[in-house]
Amino acid sequence: MPLIPLSYWDLAIAGLLLLINGGLSVAMALRLERPLFLAALRMVVQLSLVGLVLNQLFALRSPWLTLGMAAVMVGFAGHEILGRQDRTLTGGWTYGLGAGSMAFAASLVMVVALTTAVRPDPWYDPRYAIPMLGMVLGNTMSGVSLALNTLSNAAVRERAAIEARLALGSSRWEALRTQQRQALRTGMMPIVNGMAATGVVSLPGMMTGQILGGVDPSEAVKYQILIMFLIAGATGLGVLLATFGAVHRLTDGRDRLRLDRLNAYDR
């Protein structure tokens, strides 16, 4: 069955549903009507521009342009992580840890997937690399963001307990082990819940899109399983790297807690 094309009128009808949400916001004084409208407008503009860029990228199939697009995606994801923190590390460390951990984790799992499982020709074919990277980055970004925010808040909230452990001779890694574990669990929980619900509660976007595009459901299932494994692997590695980096930054070589390295810390 061929893909059913959508007209702009079809999209406009679906967009009218946002007016219901906006009306509820006004009626209940939620003050979400403006953010909702701006978010929808931003989404439409961003996706439209991305569609134009991807058309050119797919046609050229340049490894350097593909790498550049991936770098831009990582850069914006790092900015999103920065904006989701209650307390950020000074000196741009939050952005660096977020973007760096995501870039390493996503690059590793994508190279493995493109060279062993998918095997497009060439292996960096942007038609495969960019959409898969987008799904991996989006979920890894959420995990890393949650982990860093949880760790920084826990360090401030449990300062007395951490400093007591340090005073009793614990190393910085031992003193912050409980808080790091909490951050790791928080960062991994979305993908754990997502895998548990996939196929029973929800049909993921990639699988749904492939089925609507005429792909055999059993083949779409294989791709979705692959993507979920890639997301889980990248999220776990990214969260681990980010929390280790944050613990290192929140302490020093003399095993002291350095909350002065956190912005928005009320001393």
CA dihedral 73, 34, 7, 224 (to 10 degrees): 40
- Residues 30, 157 within the same domain: no
If we measure between CA atoms, which residue out of 254, 240, 262, 93 comes closest to residue 163? Answer: 254
- Residues 203, 93 within the same domain: yes
Contact 81, 99 (CB under 8 A): yes
Q: What value does the mean pLDDT of the chain take?
A: 91
Instruction: For residue 169, give Cα distances in angstroms to 166, 199, 256.
Output: 5, 49, 11
The reported pLDDT for the residue numbered 197 is: 86
- Residues 31, 139 within the same domain: no
Residue 72 lies inside a defined structural domain of this protein: yes
Residue 221 lies inside a defined structural domain of this protein: yes
- The count of domains in the chain is 2
Burial status of residue 238 (CB atoms within 10 A of its CB: 0-12, 13-18, 19 or more): buried
Q: What are phi and psi of 265, to 5 degrees?
A: -100, 120
Domain stops at, among 21, 41, 60:
60
pLDDT tens track for 9-24: 999 999 888 999 999 9
Q: What is the 8-class DSSP label of residue 121?
A: S
Contact 137, 231 (CB under 8 A): no
- Residues 202, 127 within the same domain: yes
- Residues 49, 145 within the same domain: no
Contact 204, 136 (CB under 8 A): no
pLDDT tens track for 199-245: 877 777 777 788 877 788 888 899 999 999 999 999 999 999 999 99
- Residues 208, 129 within the same domain: yes
Answer whether residue 6 shows pLDDT above 90: no
In angstroms, the CA 55 to CA 176 distance is 47
Residue 267 lies inside a defined structural domain of this protein: no
Domain stops at, among 13, 42, 60:
60
Residue 13 lies inside a defined structural domain of this protein: yes
Domain stops at, among 60, 84, 105:
60
If we measure between CA atoms, which residue out of 100, 60, 57 comes closest to residue 77? Answer: 100
Start-to-end C-alpha separation, the chain: 64
In angstroms, the CA 38 to CA 35 distance is 5
* Position with higher pLDDT, 68 vs 206: 68
Residue 156 CB-half CA count within 13 A: 18
Residue 149 lies inside a defined structural domain of this protein: yes
Residue type, 118: V
pTM: 0.87
Residue 266 lies inside a defined structural domain of this protein: no
Residue 84 lies inside a defined structural domain of this protein: yes
Answer whether residue 128 shows pLDDT above 80: yes
The reported pLDDT for the residue numbered 200 is: 77
Q: What are phi and psi of 172, to 5 degrees?
A: -65, -35
- Residues 224, 135 within the same domain: yes
- Residues 198, 256 within the same domain: yes
Residue 20 lies inside a defined structural domain of this protein: yes
- Residues 122, 195 within the same domain: yes
Residue type, 154: A
Q: What are phi and psi of 146, to 5 degrees?
A: -65, -40
- Residues 49, 70 within the same domain: no
- Residues 185, 200 within the same domain: yes
**16 lies in which domain range?**
1-60
In angstroms, the CA 81 to CA 94 distance is 8
pLDDT tens track for 137-192: 999 999 999 999 999 999 999 999 999 999 999 999 999 999 999 999 999 999 99
Q: Which residues contact 248 (CB under 8 A, 6 or more apart)?
A: 172
Q: Exposure pattern of 249-265 as b/e (b: 16+ CB <10 Å)?
A: bbbeeebebebebbeee
- Residues 107, 153 within the same domain: yes
